Each structure stands twice: as C-alpha cells, then as structure tokens.
Amino acid sequence: MATLALLLSGLGLFFIGVRSLSANLVPLVGRRGRAAFSRALRGPLSVALSGTVAGIVTQSSTAVSWIIVSFVRGGVLPAGPALGAPNWANVGTALLPLIVAIDTSTAAGVVIGLGGFITYFKLARGDRMRHVVEAALGAGLLLFGMHLVSIAVGPIRDELMHNPWWDVALEHPLLLALIGFGFSVAAQSSSVAAAVAVAAVGGGLLDLGSALPLVAGANAAGMLNNALMVPGETMAGRAIFAIQVVQKGAGSLLLAALSVAVAVFPGVFDGVLPADGDTRAQIAVIFLLAQIGGAFIAALAQGATCRLLERMLPASAAETLAQPAFLLRESLSDPAAALDLTVRELARLADRLPMMLDKVREEADTTTPAPATLRVAGVALAGSVKAYLAALLDGQMSRRQVSVALLLDDAAMNVSALHEALGEFAEVAGPAQALPTARRLIEALHALLGAVAEHGESLGADDPEMVLSLLGHRDQVMEALRHRLSEQHALTPMQQDALFRMTILFERIVWLARQLVNSLTQAYRA
C-alpha cells in the first residue's frame, strides 16, 4: 500500500508540475512574444523552429494548435505553412522525457525549497516574477515526481518479477503497446507517457526491448487524441489536427520498426545511440528522433493532407459565412487602415442581424440561412475580429488608435452577444410563432434591427439619435405584456413560456443593440 501511495504521489506531482510549468510559461512569453511568433511563421524552416520552441514553452501541442487556429481565423496568418507549426511542437514536447532521463532530483529539491520560501514570505513582486517562481516550482515538481516514481518502481519491480501476468506482458509487445496507448489517452499526452516509461526503465521495471513497444503505443494514442478534434473544427483547425495525426502515425511506425529491430537484433543500438549503457537516455533520444522523423514526413505530406480533407470534409455553410471579408493581415502594419477594415467587418456582421429573424417571420424568406447557422457563423466571425484587434494592439499605435481599437473590441463583443441572443429568440419563437403577440414582437424586433443594420452600413457616421430613440428601454412595456400574458388562460403552458422568454430576450437584444450603436458611433467620432 505504501509503494502504491508513493507511486500515485509521484505521478500526481509530475502532472501538477507539467500543468504549472505550461500555465506559467505562456504568460511569461506575453502578447509581444505571441506577435513575434506569428511573424516568424512564414517559411518551412521558420515554422519548424518556431513550432519546436512553442512546444518547449507550452509543453502542449494542443495549446500551440489553438494559438495557430486563432491567428488564422483572425486573419493574422494565412492558411499555409503556419498550419504545420503544431506538428513541430510535438518535437518540443518530446524534450520532456529527455529531461526526466537526467537525474535532477537534488536540483529539483533545491528549486522546490526556494520556491516555497519565496511563495510563503511573498517575496515575488509583480505578476511576471510570480509566473517565474511558479514555472520554476512546476519544473521542480515534475522532476521530483519522476524521482518518486523511480523510487516506487523498485519494490513494484520486485513484486512483478514473481507475477506470471507480468511475464506474459513482457513477452507480448502488443500488450505493452496497449498499456502505453491507454496511459497516453488518459494523460492526453504521449510525452507524459514516454516520460513515465523512462522512469520505469530507470527503476529496472522495463528494458529497451519492452519499453519501445510501450512508447510506440503511447505515441499512437496521439493519433486518436488529434483525430477526435478534426470533425468539430473549421477547415484550418481540421488541417492542423489532421497533420498531427500523420505526424503521430509516422512516428509510431518508426517506433514500431525499431521495436522489431531490437527484438530481432538485441544489440543493434550498441554504440550507435548516445549515452550507450544508459537505457533511460536511449529511450528518450529514440522518442525524440521519432517525433522529428514524423514531423518531417507530416511536413512533406501537408499539401496532400489538406487536399484530402477538403474533399472528405468540405467547409459547412456556417464556416463559409464565418470567413472574414475585410480583415487583411497585410494591413496590421498600418493601424489606420486596419481599424477601417475592422469597422467594415463589424458593419457586415450588423447587416446580418435582421436576417436572423427571416425564418420566423410571417412571410418567411426561404433563401436566408437558418438562424442557428447565422448564430454560429456570427459568433465565430466576431471572435476573428477580436483576434485581429488583439494582434493590432501588439503593434505601435497612437493613443487615439488604441481607444478606437478598444471601442471596436467592445462592439465585436456586443455583436457576438446579439447573435447568441437572436439565435435563442428565433429558437423559442417556434412554439408561439402562430400567435398574434409573437408575430408583433418578431416584426417589431426585425424593424429595430433593420435600423441598427442601416446605422452599421454608415460605419457609425450617421447621427445615432434616431436609432437610439427607437431602441429606448422597453422594460415597462415588456413587464406589462408579461402581466397580460399571465392572465390569458387560452394559451398553452408551452406557448406562455415561449412568449415570456421572447419578452425577456427582446429586452436583452434591445439593450445590446444600443451598446453596439454607441460603440460604432464613438469609434467613428474618435
């Protein structure tokens, strides 16, 4: 029981350390670092180097994937070579088993001790210093956790050596691969599983021949983890995760081939790999080389992978509508032009607001996309606008331009919330659509949103007074309507509930529309 507790505590410290390290290194890089990262993703070599560094910093290829997806959606990066950066991030994360292979338990203990003193006595001043201390603590915890695991492996090894089930597992590489696969799926990281395998080798539980199938299985699990992300993503996201499926698949095949080579020729790597005689280092180096090999193969197959995806999973209507029309990455170097383009993109979004009610009006427009489609596309496009503005704020801007960018960011947030609220309004209007009260609410809201769309077409230049007067507070009117509805016994409970929710959403939509008109007007005046 004590050995199991020691093993669990070591794994727990390791997992906490990995999360703490990545969570605190990312803020240390900062927005300027992310801007430099986006500028570096221009050619194959710079993508490979930048992706590897990003993987070292974040210790998560998934985190790098989301960064690249947000850059592409916001028009900061083209959907070209940059899509391969998360592929190379897997090489950066593969350095973790190599670090674990080095006995750093003494250094880890010193770092944990110093970090504890600094934290307790509150010696870290400022957010940056706090992130440095917590990142160091995370590194110390993960290394000390692996030290505890290696200590626990000794007694476990002694017990398993007399267990016939373990003898069966060691004689069946496929079973070892399945164990590695399951651990990697649970940990959501093949590098973490490889690091644990390195610790098991250090404790004598595994040798090179038995560790290789386990690491190969752990790496193959990365294919599943990435493949599950493909269907629910946009085209750029699908390409990014599909490329990593290829990378993990190629790396797993290389590891499987090496496993067979070691099984057939036991001394094949003697004198070939560095640190001859240190099996832990050999496993870590082999895992790293497999990631590099897989990354090269995936990079060569990137074009074919993207073309295959376009044929098998073409862009949906929502994804097409979510594509920016005005956000040009080339304009980020010219803040005035970029701000003007952002206003035009927001006006394009505002123009869609009345369309979200076309399907539930008395005379429905069959040519208009469904409200749910417009809702998803609108929220995604508003997110692209916010990402574009964030990239713009990373550059050199005047104080007035910064204030305009912040106003437009607020407008993007409001137009996103409007799409959410209107999508819900169209959804709840269904059961009550045939009622006169519901039809009047829908038509009134459609007319108000039409005025908002016209104001957006002027890019905020028109006098907003008339629009704002139309968007006056409807609290008392809606409250009186709800009171009358509560006294109408002819309505079914479903219809009454739908009408009540429509009145509440009506108030919210009107309030958000006022905020949007104010933000666009202030941005124009600034």
pLDDT at 270: 62
24, 28, 79, 90 from 298: Cα distances, Å: 30, 30, 16, 12
Q: What are phi and psi of 442, to 5 degrees?
A: -65, -45
pLDDT at 463: 79
Q: What is the 3-state secondary structure (H, E, C) of 293-318?
A: HHHHHHHHCHHHHHHHHHHHCCCCHH
Structure token pair of residue 76: 């900061």
Distance, CA of 45 to CA of 205 (rounded, Å): 40
pLDDT at 302: 92
Asked if 149 and 7 count as a contact pair (C-beta separation under 8 A), the reply is yes
Distance, CA of 377 to CA of 325 (rounded, Å): 13
Asked if 415 and 349 count as a contact pair (C-beta separation under 8 A), the reply is yes
Q: What is the mean pLDDT of each run of 10 residues along the chain (526 residues)?
A: 77 81 68 65 82 81 82 73 89 84 78 88 83 85 79 62 63 85 84 82 79 91 90 82 94 92 74 63 89 94 91 83 83 87 92 90 82 91 90 85 92 94 88 78 88 87 82 73 68 76 87 91 86
* The Cα angle at residue 350 between residues 330 and 378, in degrees rounded to 5: 75
- Of the candidates 344, 364, 466, 423, the one whose C-alpha atom is nearest the C-alpha of residue 75 is 344
pLDDT at 151: 75
pLDDT at 256: 92
pLDDT at 298: 94
Domains of the chain (ranges plus CATH)?
2-312 (no CATH), 323-525 (1.20.58)
pLDDT at 330: 75
